[in-house]
Amino acid sequence: MTHVAIADQPEEEEHHPTSFIAKYIWSQDHKVIAIQYTIVAMFVGLVALVLSGFMRLQLGFPDTFSFINPNTYLQFMTMHGMIMVIYLLTALLLGGFGNYLIPLMVGTRDMVFPYLNMLSFWMYFLSVLVLLASFFVPGGPTGAGWTLYPPQAILQGTPGADWGIVFMIASLAIFIIAFTMGGLNYVTTILQARTHGMTLMRMPLTLWGIFTASLMGLLAFPALLVSAIMLGLDLLAGTSFFMPALVSLGEQLDHTGGSPLLFQHLFWFFGHPEVYIVALPAFGMVSDVLSTHARKNIFGYRMMVWAIVIIAGLSFIVWAHHMYVSGMNLNFGFFFATTTLIIAVPTALKVYNWVLTLWRGNIHLNTPMLFAIGFIFTFTHGGLSGLFLGNVIVDVPLADTYFVVAHFHMVMGVSTVMVLFAAIYHWYPLVTGRMLHEGMGKIHFWLTFLGTYAVFLPMHYLGFLGVPRRYFSMGDTAFMPESAQTLNASISVFAIIVMVIQVIFLVNLVWSLKNGPRAPRNPWGATSLEWQTPVMPPAHGNWGHALPRVHRWAYDYSVPGAAEDFIPQNVPQEGSGRPDDGGQEEVKA
């Protein structure tokens, strides 16, 4: 044991870099990296939000804005989707929250591979730069839709077919390498660096969500990398992976023998797990936020853990439900419909458990809690429309209409963003040492929550009318009543309002950094380890001289007879707490 002393060294001298560069650019501290991830992800997220605003302007008020033409509309749509799914949600949930919370929650000083962690961020940053650079190349970014389906993604006629698509592919490849480094770091940290007493079944659900999602990422992202490489080679080197015998613009192309369906299979083998890579960390975080602010243990902890694991497993055999109308074998479709509907079982279980956690809880309706409860609503609605689309027969008429747009925005966009807001309001005091302004937070919640309903509920109706998605303009189609256009205009107005409301949130974030009330230690009375550090916000190395020891699960709230109404995980057994958390290991210690 040559260096156990590390823990006892006075850390102040050694680990507190002073200059800006050493502190924020070269730092390998997981907390700094997490903040870097968060800031970059929120920045690209804002870009994507503005893009969606442009699209809504065109849809609500056609032919009023000259800078939006059919080509730019497709480009905005593509970049909006890609940024939101990959560069905002995946990066913020795993890179941002994963990085910040994993070492603190498992009770270790840092990630097990700090170099790799830092490199992962810088490569993510690079991928964002490359992605944004595609706005400035000749022809602009690709307009192939965020799914990048070939052959049209790489054939002439699609916007950005010369340069934009190359930048998109390069950016994705870099992102995937960055994510692989991050993901194996998160998985190994959770498996290896848990502090004494932190068994897997004592981990907060946040960790379970992040852990499972990282594992899924390691499995699923290589499929996207492979399809991106093949797509790039089809474009640049004349290979034929996704190109059958094609005739384009009257000329026969040199590509022969490939299959565009192959791309869809590869893409969705990544794409569906990706939904859960985003959703599972959100499930985990919302469980912890609900439990803390309802002062009640999470209902059915083991059930929740296994539901996460089962959802993760099932999500790898449902991918083709994105392809019912692609021309694949219909019997194949019924297999995927079955698995898709089965996945609703563990998901519904989680919803019941969240509601039962709230039931007769001592609910504190502060901002994080409001967002968490809002998530239960939006997620339930988005999930139910998913049951419609999971059935082959119902999906065929609804495919590629606004019903689909409404579904995935509700279930993956709005719900996950609700959790992100809840998580930011919940953990902001830990990160900055200041509380966010509660009044601004509540205004932010109510306008966002009601606003998103005003935006996305009418879209279901538009979908039933048969309004197709991804169309620049609806024109005078016979099947669409006049009211559809009116509805579109109202959706656009609400969308702009929701967008503007986010300014309150940003102002709150920046303003509270200096002017917010100083956060008391453990302001929410949470039990999990990240709130139990010697100083708050946690310093480099997190735990000062000795690592915490864990004696219980993370949900001992409202314990009868306890000094406060909760017992943190690192407080030893004193007769209260759960009966199955035996005290024998304390004897040896």
Partner 1 sequence: MAEKTTQYFVPDSSPWPLWASAGLFLLAMGIAGFIQQATGVSDSQWGGPVLIAGALWMIGVLFMWWRDATLESLQGLHSVQMDKSYRQGMIWFIFSEVMFFAAFFGALFYVRWLAVPWLGGAGDGAMTHELLWPDFQAMWPLTRTPDGTTTQYMGAWGLPAINTAILITSSVTLTIAHHALVAGERARAILFHGATIALGVIFIGLQAYEYVHAYRDLGLTLDAGIYGSLFFMLTGFHGVHVTIGTIFLIVLLLRMMKGHFTAENHFAYEAGAWYWHFVDVVWVFLFVVVYWL
Site for partner 1 in 191-230 (CB under 8 A): 191-196, 218-223, 225-227, 229-230
Least distance (Å) from partner 1 to the CB of residue 108?
A: 5
Contacts of 429 (CB under 8 A, 6+ apart): 435, 436, 519, 523, 536
Q: Are 351 and 287 in contact, with CB atoms under 8 Å apart?
A: no
Distances (CA, A) of 5 to 15, 108, 115, 542: 15, 16, 22, 16
Q: Does 589 bind partner 1 (CB under 8 A)?
A: yes
Sign of CA dihedral 512, 518, 521, 526: negative
Distance CA 290, CA 372 (A): 6
- Residue 246, number of CB atoms within 10 A of its CB: 16
Residues 265-304, one symbol each (x = binds partner 1 by CB under 8 A, - = not), give xx--x-----------------------------------
Q: For residue 248, what is the enclosing H or E element?
A: strand 247-248
User: Cβ distance 71 to 159 under 8 Å?
Assistant: yes
CA proximity to 426, closest of 523, 550, 567? 523
Give me the sign of the Cα torsion angle 225, 231, 234, 235: negative
148 burial class (0-12, 13-18, 19+ CB within 10 angstroms)? buried
Q: Which of residues 395-434 bind partner 1 (CB under 8 A)?
A: none
Residue 126 or 325: the one with the smaller Cβ distance to partner 1 is 126
- In the range 136-195, which residues lie near partner 1 by CB under 8 A? 162, 166, 170, 174, 180, 183-185, 187-189, 191-195
Give Cα 114 distance to the centre of its chain: 23
User: Interface with partner 1 by CB under 8 A: which range of 260-268, 295-303, 383-391, 423-431?
Assistant: 260-268
What's at 518, amino acid-wise?
R
Decide if 456 contacts 446 (C-beta within 8 A). Answer: no
Binding footprint of partner 1, residue count (CB under 8 A): 92
**Interacting span for partner 1 (CB under 8 A) from 205-213, 340-348, 421-429, 544-552:** 544-552
Q: Closest distance between partner 1 and the C-beta of residue 26, in Å?
A: 4
The interface region with partner 1, picked from 76-84, 205-213, 262-270, 528-536 by CB under 8 A, is 262-270
Q: Which is nearer to partner 1, 18 or 64 (CB)?
A: 18
> From the list 182, 258, 346, 516, which residue makes contact with partner 1 (rule: CB under 8 A)?
258
Q: Which of residues 459-488 bind partner 1 (CB under 8 A)?
A: none
Residues 557-586 that bind partner 1 (CB under 8 A): 585
CA-wise closest residue to 84 among 294, 323, 274: 274
**Interface segment toward partner 1; rule CB under 8 A; list 11-19, 44-52, 488-496, 506-514:** 11-19
Q: Which of 49, 57, 137, 233 binds partner 1 (CB under 8 A)?
A: 233
Nearer to partner 1, 64 or 329 (CB): 329
Q: What angle do CA 185, 190, 191 make, to 5 degrees?
A: 100
* Span near partner 1 by CB under 8 A; candidates 203-211, 263-271, 318-326, 566-574: 263-271
**What part of residues 85-124 is at the interface with partner 1 (CB under 8 A)?**
107-110, 112-116, 118-119, 121-123
- Pick the binder of partner 1 from 262, 310, 344, 493 (CB under 8 A): 262
Q: How far is the CB of 217 from partner 1 (least distance, A)?
A: 9
Closest CB 581 distance from partner 1, rounded Å: 17
Binding residues for partner 1 restricted to 308-327, rule: CB under 8 A = 327
Among 15, 364, 469, 470, binds partner 1 (CB under 8 A): 15
Q: What angle do CA 62, 66, 68 make, to 5 degrees?
A: 70
Considering only 126-134, 274-282, 302-310, 410-418, which stretch makes contact with partner 1 by CB under 8 A? 126-134
Q: Cβ distance 496 to 452 under 8 Å?
A: no
Q: Are 151 and 260 in contact (CB under 8 A)?
A: yes
The distance of closest approach from Cβ of residue 109 to partner 1 in the complex, given in angstroms and rounded to an integer, is 5
